Amino acid sequence: MKNENLLILKKWIDSFNSKNLDELLALYNDHATHFSPKLKARQPETKGWIKGKTQLRDWWKDAFERLPELHYEVNYSIADDNHVFVEYTRSVPGEDDLIVGEVLFLENGLIVKSKVFHS
């Protein structure tokens, strides 16, 4: 199971880096929740949380359009049967690189919750 979860992470990173929204959303449960400090800053009314594929699609579509050169590089990852922790470097030209920690919570081979950590 741990290796399968690391495969999900690889697909997740590849989907972000190729800006393939449909592939990315296919990794998520229909009712998945997501927390991000960037979401909290850009859309304070959400308090950083969104739920469901429609809100996930809207959030990431906006990010991909605003940041066409957004790129994630994995620094470290580890998985157990129900979680993946990944540390990655978020790179956008014209911005300082950002070290990000993210936990993917998994059930039945799909992400049901994701939570981003960074300063």
Helix (H) / strand (E) element for 30: namely strand 28-35
| Residues 70/77, Cβ–Cβ less than 8 Å | no
Helix (H) / strand (E) element for 50: namely strand 49-51
Give the pLDDT score at 2: 77
What's the chain's average pLDDT?
A: 96
Report DSSP state, residue 95. S
The parts of the chain modelled with pLDDT lower than 50 are none
Give the pLDDT score at 119: 76
For residues 61 and 77, give the distance between their C-alpha atoms in angstroms, rounded to a whole number: 25
Closest CA to 68 of 19, 22, 14: 19
For residues 14 and 37, give the distance between their C-alpha atoms in angstroms, rounded to a whole number: 22
For residues 66 and 42, give the distance between their C-alpha atoms in angstroms, rounded to a whole number: 12
Give the pLDDT score at 1: 64
State both tokens at 70.
């957004």
State both tokens at 84.
């993946």
